[in-house]
């Protein structure tokens, strides 16, 4: 039963993630006064990479790096239930909690870092350094908001947190939501915090040296990860979901906001983004924490 | 009348109305995906590169055909040789081309790649790209406008879909020929030895 | 078993076997056993081993003492024997720093013990709470400050860590794992005794611990030498334990993290010792690219790294989970955010450690002919890695022992259902499901990848990287990733940590002490007749006073 559940969750995340990426390219294109590719374009991209005749590899660690990334992404997905009150589509979430999910978010980048480091491309090391430096600054406002919400809900189980919201957490604790939203924009890889994978600037950063099927695996895990993070945010701040329509609607609205924000702004440098993230969103989140728990 | 100059021209030009070739369904499916998603290496090799930004940005929007830029040769399918190749650039182009993974396609822009073009009597440029690298599609002009480049891409997509764009196989089969020509202009150490091993001896899984 | 030795009129010394003492004693014994494996690679003299045995004996005395006097005797013997062990390889300056700080810490602990004695005229732990209650307010504060100073010097808390980094870096490779894994735990043990038997310090410990871990983590990112990086990392990890001891129910998390930290630091330092033995270098700027030459070392270091960072499939997550839920339950929310922040920053130095040594490119020709490290380095690492994987799979394995310790200190015990589920005050997780899900999904993805259409071509040469069409060669500086972390100095906020250092403060204290001592030179001039005159004057004063 768990196996079928997990498989369905994986398929839904895979197709929805890629669909959202196709919609992202279309919507960004409309912002730029042009038509974009068809919305199935991301599927085509990743399948094309699977049909490449050969893929370059730099040894067994390079081969296993993308596999660790994909495993991290799928495990993060399986530990987040889709619905607040349902017994289906829960995956393995009964055996874990929010702390497990927060740490599984970093397992993928670790696999990426190991694979890129083995290839030995110095541009890859530069991209990984940027990613890790941005990580701790980006996670701080998110951690503050999540800790506040866990303390207010009295539990670290995701289903409990999302079911116990009488009023949406985003409306009840707006400062926490705004602080977490800054981090979330960075986690989605949108400007102004998208310095990590800057394509030509740092030779595509953490995705350097991956070709063929490894790159396809990278794109697939990125889609699954996106969907998992969107569902997590919906559960934490937007009141969870009771059916597929509500889940897809809420995740899409959040995604739309994030990409609209990203298409407006330029890119911060690494030091600038760390400085900004440690000052403005952190202060907002700390204020929100104090206001929310001061009783 | 199947002889003569006009007929020869016809074989060199692309024809969007020709019939499909016959291939088995697995190959057909793979080629269908390959033609719907094309990653172009962001490398402007010569003065023709000035026409690439308009093609890929808002006004002429190549992204609606599924074409987008790629940063590294490992991720790219198509390399655009845009204009003249001096010997200095040729060395880098060949090294980059050999680092791309199969199947890879070459789109040659401008008349400099056909017969030397404006620099036909220069001491420092190559006169015929086909001697050094196999080419899938030529787009004539000096420089071709974005509309021409788009038509070149559409024809390239059609060729990929039919399985006719096989320059990468041509490179592997005739590697000695290309290598001899490259060494003649670039000297003996045209590329590091591990590159030649890649093509001359079969390695890897 | 209760031993009474030297039944002097009001001083009772005793040893007692408690569950807490057994816990730390097992850590000491296991670490000594593991560290002995690598001893055969170094030519260590008999005196070194003798001192090592003396050190271990003193550690057992510290742990099994049931009164403060025996505790202090053990502490002193530990300081002296580790001083002599360090003198085999430390430079004079680092050795002086160590002994001055060790003596200062011992002295302040002794004064604190004597102050506590003045309460009920007893050194026993059982009477300690009563003694503290009888002290006046000022005496109580002085006691706490002196005791904490002594303990924090041992733990290397920021501000008092001046001796620790140099001592770790220059000590003999055989002794450094022991230093980091075991000797620091004695400070933890002293802190636990203070917090459970005498007085509870909540926010003081929490704030000091959090500041330590944040500052030490960022300092670790800047280091170029592997041993210095691990030294700062030890300071940061001990900072977590200090933080969680500030919470009333935090002892379970503290003990769990002590266990994990001991195992991990043993693993990491033995790994580094193996690399130093094989290559003769310990700086990242001189290493690199060793992954395919020493693959077993790489995998073992990877397991150590994942545990140190606290990531789920392995054991490090269990201790972090307990720490976080204890802090969350006590509503120390901002402190918890700071601890999680420091834990996220740890990913940087953890990756720098593995990149600088194993990934990237070798920085000189000698590194291209390295073979695998000797088996005597690998065996202890395999044992430790297996234990860490076991703890990760069954995180509740030690919960029965922890419950025994907690109940004898009259604290709340942890709920226990089965060995695989770790239950805490704020949630639970199942380690077996986690690691088996990881394994199954990894296997499925691997099978899928092996069966796809594209073949895998391995590059022949390490120089075949995508380098913008250029061809890198021997002279190209391809391993510059080892200096990652330097760009953090450009962030204005973090530069506060990097600009300031404790060195000027201690230099000031040293110079003032020398100036003060100069005053006495005017009296004790070193002249023999002058000394004789002073002795005669003192004798006259003593005689007159005794006659009075």
DSSP one-letter string for C334-391: HHHHHHHHHHHHHHHHHHHHHHHHTSS--SSGGGGG--PPPHHHHHHHHHHHHHHHHH
Listed in sequence order, the residues at least 6 apart from C154 whose beta carbon sits closer than 8 Å to its beta carbon are: C105, C183, C184, C186, C187, C190
How many beta-carbon pairs under 8 angstroms link A with B?
Answer: 83
Q: Is the ipTM of this complex over 0.90?
A: yes
* Alpha-carbon separation of residue A185 from A28, A262, C150, C233 (angstroms): 15, 8, 46, 31
DSSP A206: G
C84 touches chain B (CB under 8 A): no
Minimum CA–CA partner of B42 in chain C? C468
Q: Among A126, A156, A289, whose Cβ lies nearest the Cβ of C426? A: A156
- The residue ranking higher by pLDDT, C210 or C367, is C210
Chain A residues lying within 8 Å of C360, measured CB to CB: 117, 120, 122, 125
Cross-chain residue pair A54–C456, CB shorter than 8 Å: yes
* B86 interfaces chain C, CB cutoff of 8 Å: no
Q: Could you tell me which residues come within 8 angstroms of residue C394 by beta carbon, excluding any fewer than 6 positions away?
A: C419, C420, C431, C432
Mean pLDDT score of chain C, rounded to an integer? 90
Contacts of B37 in chain A (CB under 8 A): 41, 44-45, 48
CB neighbours (10 Å) of residue C480? 15
- Tokens at B105, concatenated: 């396609």
Query: What pLDDT, on a 0 to 100 scale, did the predictor assign at position B194?
Result: 64
Residue B174 backbone dihedrals phi, psi, to 5 degrees? -105, 35
- The pLDDT, as a whole number, for residue C342 is 94
Closest CA to A192 of A94, A139, A250, A258: A258
| Per-residue tokens: C536 | 């005669």
Q: To which H or E segment does residue A292 belong? A: helix A270-293
Contact C398, C262 (CB under 8 A): no
Confidence of residue C363 (pLDDT cuts 50, 70, 90): confident
pLDDT digits (tens, 9 = 90+) for A140-157: 999 999 999 999 988 888
- What is residue C257's predicted lDDT score, i.e. its pLDDT? 95
Q: CA-CA distance, C343 to C451, in Å (whole number)?
A: 39
Q: Which of C404, C388, C396 is nearest to C423 (CA)?
A: C396
pLDDT at B205: 30
Q: Which residues of C touch A157 (CB under 8 A)?
A: 427
Check C456 against A133: CB less than 8 A apart: no
C-alpha A197: how far from its chain's center? 14
Does residue C174 have a cis peptide bond before it, meaning omega lies within 30 degrees of 0?
no
Q: Mean pLDDT, to the nearest integer, of C353-373?
A: 89
pLDDT (tens digit per residue) in C499-515? 888 888 999 998 999 99
Mutate one of C460, C472, C476 to test the B interface: name it (highest B CB count within 10 A). C460
Q: Are B140 and B9 in contact (CB under 8 A)?
A: no
CA distance C62 to C65: 6
Range of lowest pLDDT (B163-172, C253-262, C435-444):
B163-172
Chain A residue with CA closest to C340: the answer is A143
Contact C73, C109 (CB under 8 A): no
Q: How far apart are CA C466 and CA C478, in angstroms?
A: 12
Taking residues A114-139, report their average pLDDT: 90
Q: What values do phi and psi take at B41, rounded to 5?
A: -65, 135
Between CA C17 and CA C22 the distance in angstroms is 7
User: Using an 8 Å Cβ cutoff, are A240 and A247 in contact?
Assistant: no
Please check the confidence at residue B203 and state whether its pLDDT lies above 50.
Answer: no
CA distance B10 to B23: 24
Please give the mean pLDDT across all residues of chain A: 91
What's residue A218's pLDDT?
A: 92
CB A266 within 8 A of CB A161: no
| Of A167, A137, A164, nearest in space to A150 by CA | A164
State how far Cα A269 lies from the chain centre.
Answer: 20
Kind and range of the H or E run holding C49: helix C46-64
Binning pLDDT at 50, 70 and 90, where does residue C468 land?
Answer: confident
Pick from B43, B74, B205: CB nearest C456:
B205
Q: Which chains are adjacent to chain B, needing at least 3 Cβ pairs under 8 Å?
A: A, C
What are the sequence ranges of the domains in chain A? 2-293
CB count within 10 Å of CB A38 equals: 16
CA–CA separation, A155 vs C263, rounded Å? 31
Is the Cα dihedral C477, C481, C482, C483 positive or negative? positive
Q: Tell me the per-residue pLDDT of C477-486, one tens digit each, with 9 for 90 and over.
A: 888 888 888 8
- Residue C2 confidence class, pLDDT cut points 50, 70, 90: very low
Tell me how far the alpha carbon of residue C174 is from its chain's centroid: 16
CA distance B6 to chain C (A): 40
Evaluate if residue B1 carries a pLDDT over 70. Answer: no
C-alpha distances in angstroms, A104 versus B113, C140, C242, C385? 52, 46, 26, 21
CA nearest to C353, candidates C290, C292, C400, C311: C290
Is the CB of C491 inside 8 Å of chain A's CB atoms? yes
Whole-number pLDDT of residue C526:
78
Local structure of B145: helix, strand or coil? coil
pLDDT score, position C1: 37
Chains near C, with 3+ CB pairs < 8 A?
A, B
A50 to C341: CB separation less than 8 angstroms, yes or no? no
Whether the CB-CB separation of C390 and C314 falls below 8 Å is answered with no
Those of residues 468-487 in C touching chain A at CB distance below 8 A are 468, 478-481, 484-485, 487
Which SS3 state, helix, strand or coil, does residue C499 take? Answer: helix
C326 at the A interface (CB within 8 A)?
no
Q: Pick the residue with more confidence: B117 or C267?
A: C267
Alpha carbon separation from B178 to B108, B170, B174, B196, C129 (Å, rounded) = 17, 10, 7, 11, 89
Interface of B with A in 21-40 (CB under 8 A): 30, 33-34, 36-37, 39
- Please give the pLDDT value at position B204: 35
Compute the distance between CA of residue C253 and CA of residue C406 in angstroms, rounded to an integer: 11
- Judge whether C209 and C248 are in contact, CB under 8 Å: no
Is C469 touching B (CB cutoff 8 A)? Answer: yes
DSSP state for residue C65 in the 8-state scheme? B
User: A267, A134, A128: which is closest to A208 by C-alpha?
Assistant: A128
pLDDT band of residue C541 (cuts 50, 70, 90) is very high
pLDDT digits (tens, 9 = 90+) for A45-57: 999 999 998 888 9
| Chain A CB contacts of C468 below 8 Å | 203
Contact at CB, B205 and C458, closer than 8 angstroms? yes
DSSP C182: I
Cα distance between residue C26 and residue C262, in whole Å: 11
pLDDT at B189: 66
pTM score: 0.92
- String of b and e for A91-108 (b: at least 16 CB within 10 Å)? bbbbbbbbbbbbbbbbbb
CB contact under 8 A, C429 and A121: no
Q: How far apart are CA A128 and CA A106, in angstroms?
A: 13
CA distance B89 to B47: 12
Helix residue spans in A51-120 (DSSP H): 60-78, 98-104, 107-119
Pick the CATH number of B40-200 from 2.40.37.10, 3.40.50.12280, 3.40.640.10, 3.40.50.720: 3.40.50.12280
| Residue B11 touches partner A, C-beta closer than 8 Å | no
Contacts of B152 (CB under 8 A, 6+ apart): B14, B107, B109, B137, B138, B139, B144
Tell me which residue of C164, C142, C145 sits closest to C154, measured CA to CA.
C164
Judge: A215–B75 Cβ closer than 8 Å, yes or no. Answer: yes
Average pLDDT in chain B? 85
The answer to whether B87 faces chain A, any CB pair under 8 Å, is: no
CA A77 distance to own-chain centroid: 10
Q: Which residues contact C87 (CB under 8 A, 6 or more apart)?
A: C95
Report the C-alpha gap between A41 and A35 in whole angstroms: 13
Cα(B46)–Cα(A167) distance, rounded to whole angstroms? 61
Mean pLDDT of A206-221: 90
Q: Which residues contact C483 (CB under 8 A, 6 or more apart)?
A: C224, C284, C285
Listed residue (C331, C337, C225) closest to A144, CA to CA: C337
Contact residues for B4 (Cβ-Cβ < 8 A; gap 6+): none
CA distance C288 to C451: 33
**Which pLDDT score is estimated for C391?**
93
* Residue from A266, A38, A34 nearest B146 by CA: A34
Q: Which residues contact C432 (CB under 8 A, 6 or more apart)?
A: C393, C394, C420
**Looking at the predicted structure, is the pLDDT value of residue A139 above 50?**
yes
Question: In the prediction, which pLDDT does C182 show?
Answer: 93
């Amino acid at each position: 039963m768990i196996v079928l559940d997990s498989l369905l969750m994986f398929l839904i995340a895979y197709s929805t993630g890629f669909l959202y990426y196709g919609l992202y390219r279309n919507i960004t294109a409309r912002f730029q006064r042009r038509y974009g590719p068809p919305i199935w374009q991301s599927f085509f991209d990743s399948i094309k990479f699977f049909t490449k005749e050969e893929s370059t590899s730099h040894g067994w660690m390079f081969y296993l790096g993308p596999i660790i990334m994909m495993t991290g992404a799928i495990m993060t997905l399986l530990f987040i239930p889709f619905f607040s009150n349902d017994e289906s589509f829960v995956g393995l979430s009964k055996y874990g909690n929010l702390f497990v999910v927060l740490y599984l978010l970093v397992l993928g980048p670790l696999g990426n870092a190991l694979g890129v480091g083995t290839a030995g491309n110095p541009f890859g090391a530069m991209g990984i350094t940027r990613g890790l430096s941005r990580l701790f600054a980006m996670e701080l406002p998110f951690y503050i908001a999540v800790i506040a919400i866990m303390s207010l809900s009295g539990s670290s189980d995701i289903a409990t947190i999302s079911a116990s919201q009488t009023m949406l957490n985003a409306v009840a604790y707006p400062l926490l939501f705004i602080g977490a939203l800054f981090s979330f924009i960075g986690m989605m890889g949108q400007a102004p915090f998208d310095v990590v994978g800057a394509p030509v600037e740092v030779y595509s950063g953490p995705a350097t040296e991956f070709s063929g099927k490894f790159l396809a695996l990278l794109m697939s895990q990125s889609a699954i990860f996106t969907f998992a993070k969107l569902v997590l945010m919906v559960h934490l701040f937007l009141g969870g979901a009771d059916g597929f329509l509500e889940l897809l609607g809420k995740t899409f609205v959040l995604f739309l906001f994030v990409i609209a924000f990203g298409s407006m702004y330029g890119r911060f440098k690494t030091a600038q983004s760390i400085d900004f993230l440690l000052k403005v969103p952190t202060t907002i989140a700390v204020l929100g924490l104090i206001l929310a728990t001061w009783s | 009348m199947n002889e003569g100059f006009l007929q020869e021209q016809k074989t060199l030009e692309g024809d969007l109305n020709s019939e499909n070739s016959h291939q088995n369904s697995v190959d057909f499916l793979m080629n269908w995906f390959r033609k719907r998603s094309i990653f172009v290496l962001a490398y402007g090799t010569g003065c023709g590169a000035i026409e690439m930004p308009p093609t890929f940005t808002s006004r002429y929007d190549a992204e609606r055909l599924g074409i987008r830029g790629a940063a590294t040769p490992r991720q790219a399918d198509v390399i655009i040789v845009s204009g003249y190749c001096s010997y200095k650039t040729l060395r880098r182009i060949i090294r980059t081309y050999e680092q791309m993974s199969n199947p890879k396609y070459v789109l040659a822009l401008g008349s400099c790649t056909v017969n030397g073009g404006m620099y036909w009597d220069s001491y420092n440029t190559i006169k015929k790209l086909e001697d050094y690298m196999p080419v899938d599609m030529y787009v004539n002009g000096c420089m071709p406008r974005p509309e021409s480049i788009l038509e070149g891409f559409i024809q390239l997509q059609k060729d990929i879909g039919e399985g006719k764009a096989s320059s990468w196989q041509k490179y592997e089969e005739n590697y000695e020929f290309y290598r001899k020509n490259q060494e003649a202009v670039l000297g003996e150490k045209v590329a590091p030895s591990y590159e030649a091993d890649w093509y001359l001896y079969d390695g890897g899984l | 078993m209760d031993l009474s030795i030297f039944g002097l009129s009001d001083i009772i010394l005793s040893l007692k076997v408690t569950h807490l003492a057994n816990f730390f004693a097992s850590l000491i014994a296991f670490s000594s056993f593991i560290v002995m494996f690598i001893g055969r690679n170094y030519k260590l003299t008999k005196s070194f081993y003798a001192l090592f045995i003396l050190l271990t004996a003193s550690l057992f005395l510290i742990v099994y003492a049931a009164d403060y006097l025996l505790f202090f005797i053990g502490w002193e013997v530990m300081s002296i024997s580790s001083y002599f062990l360090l003198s085999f390889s430390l430079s004079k300056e680092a050795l002086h720093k160590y002994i001055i700080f060790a003596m200062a810490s011992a002295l302040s602990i002794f004064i604190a013990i004597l102050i506590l004695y003045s309460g009920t005229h007893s050194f026993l732990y059982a009477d300690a709470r009563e003694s503290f209650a009888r002290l006046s307010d000022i005496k109580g504060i002085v006691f706490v400050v002196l005791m904490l100073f002594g303990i924090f010097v041992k733990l290397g808390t920021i501000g008092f860590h001046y001796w620790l980094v140099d001592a770790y870096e220059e000590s003999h490779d055989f002794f450094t794992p022991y230093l980091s894994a075991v000797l620091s735990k004695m400070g933890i043990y002293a802190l636990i005794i203070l917090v459970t038997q005498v007085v509870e310090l909540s926010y003081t410990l929490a704030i000091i611990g959090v500041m330590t871990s944040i500052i030490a983590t960022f300092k670790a990112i800047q280091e170029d030498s592997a041993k210095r990086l691990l030294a700062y990392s030890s300071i940061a990890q001990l900072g977590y334990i200090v933080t969680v001891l500030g919470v009333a129910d935090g002892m379970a998390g503290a003990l769990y993290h002590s266990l994990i930290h001991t195992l991990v630091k043993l693993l990491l330092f033995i790994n580094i010792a193996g690399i130093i033995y094989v290559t003769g270098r310990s700086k990242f700027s001189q290493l690199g690219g060793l992954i395919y030459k020493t693959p077993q070392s790489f995998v073992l270091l990877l397991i150590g790294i994942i545990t140190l960072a606290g990531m789920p499939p392995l054991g490090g997550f269990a201790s972090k989970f307990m720490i976080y839920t204890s802090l969350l339950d006590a509503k120390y929310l901002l402190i918890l955010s700071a601890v999680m922040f420091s834990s996220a920053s740890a990913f940087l130095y953890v990756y720098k450690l593995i990149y600088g040594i194993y990934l990237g490119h070798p920085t000189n020709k000698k590194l291209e002919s390295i073979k695998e490290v000797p088996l005597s380095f690998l065996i202890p690492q395999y044992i430790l890695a297996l234990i860490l994987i076991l703890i990760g799979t069954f995180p509740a394995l030690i919960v029965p022992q922890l419950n025994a310790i907690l109940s004898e200190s009259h604290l709340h015990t942890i709920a226990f259902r089965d060995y695989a589920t770790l239950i805490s005050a704020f949630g639970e997780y199942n380690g077996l499901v986690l690691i088996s899900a990881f394994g199954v999904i990894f296997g499925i993805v691997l099978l899928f990848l092996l069966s796809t259409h594209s073949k895998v071509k391995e590059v022949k040469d390490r120089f075949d990287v995508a380098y913008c069409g250029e061809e890198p060669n021997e002279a190209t500086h391809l391993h510059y990733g080892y200096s990652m972390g330097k760009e953090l100095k450009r962030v204005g906020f973090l530069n506060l940590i990097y600009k300031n250092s404790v060195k000027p403060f201690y230099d000031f204290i040293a110079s003032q002490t020398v100036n003060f001592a100069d005053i006495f030179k005017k009296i004790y001039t070193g002249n023999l007749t002058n000394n004789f005159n002073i002795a005669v004057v003192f004798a006259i004063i003593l005689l007159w006073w005794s006659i009075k």
